[in-house]
Amino acid sequence: MRFDILTLFPTMFDGPLGESIIKRAADDGLLDIRRYNIRDYATDRHKSVDDAPYGGGAGMVMKVDVLARAVGDVVGDAVVPVILMTPQGRVFTQQIAAELAQQPRIVLVCGHYEGIDERAMSLFSDQISIGDYVLTGGELAAMVVVDAVARLVPGVLAEASPQEESHSGGLLEYPQYTRPPAWQGQAIPPMLLSGHHAEIARWRRKQALARTREHRPDLLARAPLSAADRKLLAEIERDASTTETET
């Protein structure tokens, strides 16, 4: 999969793209991640990429002519999603990551300063935010999108089961344990040592449901639940009310 990243700060991406899983996948040719400096598309002798807002006010606004040249040069006449990273965008989710991972190529444009000239919006097919808080620029958000999408590309993860994890079945993940068997008086849940694989799977599903109910009831309300899940949830409700009665 190819990622084209347009940014004023290409070296910000060195860290996340230069380590671990993403680096290995790029070295193996599974990912082709290219960076372009938007400043290279400025034409005046000061290489200006931003200017003061019409109407006055604080901050600077990214120039539409520079952005249009940059996007035009990178995209050409290819049909490819061109996504603006902006706090005004739709909020990024695992579902959006999965949809983008179906594409052979995406283009991410990192906004900066107070914003970008509204006339540039027609350059983009989509706008994405990574959450309800404000960053100094779109770069960190673009790194989040690249990482979340790249790990869904077949072959990028070694033991690929990106389905059985947080936010894929729509539930939070069940708790994990490894050695040592006892640590600061805390044992491993005996079920995990039982060797009964079907019972372990049921226990884990119940844990995932209980955790999601506790921490993310909003996710639980939207999750696709089987009849078996509903029975487990009824058990969880019963366990919870028993505990309340005891205390």
74 part of the interface to ligand 6GU, by CB under 6 A: no
**How near is the Cβ of 38 to ligand 6GU at its closest, in Å?**
15
In the complex, least distance from residue 128 CB atom to ligand 6GU, rounded to whole angstroms: 6
How, if at all, do strands 50-51 and 61-62 pair?
antiparallel
Ranges within 129-148 binding ligand 6GU (CB under 6 A): 129-131, 133-135, 137-138, 141
Q: Which is nearer to ligand 6GU, 87 or 170 (CB)?
A: 87
Nearer to ligand 6GU, 149 or 208 (CB): 149
Residues 6+ apart with CB under 8 A from 203: 189, 191, 192
**Nearest distance in Å: CB 86, ligand 6GU:** 5
Kindly state whether residue 86 participates in binding ligand 6GU, applying the rule CB under 6 A: yes
Nearer to ligand 6GU, 131 or 189 (CB): 131
Residues within window 112-131 making contact with ligand 6GU, judged by CB under 6 A = 129-131
16 binds ligand 6GU (CB under 6 A): no
Q: Which C-beta is closer to ligand 6GU: that of 74 or that of 85?
A: 85
Q: Pick between residue 137 and residue 162 the one whose CB is nearest to ligand 6GU.
A: 137
Binding site for ligand 6GU (CB under 6 A): 85-87, 129-131, 133-135, 137-138, 141
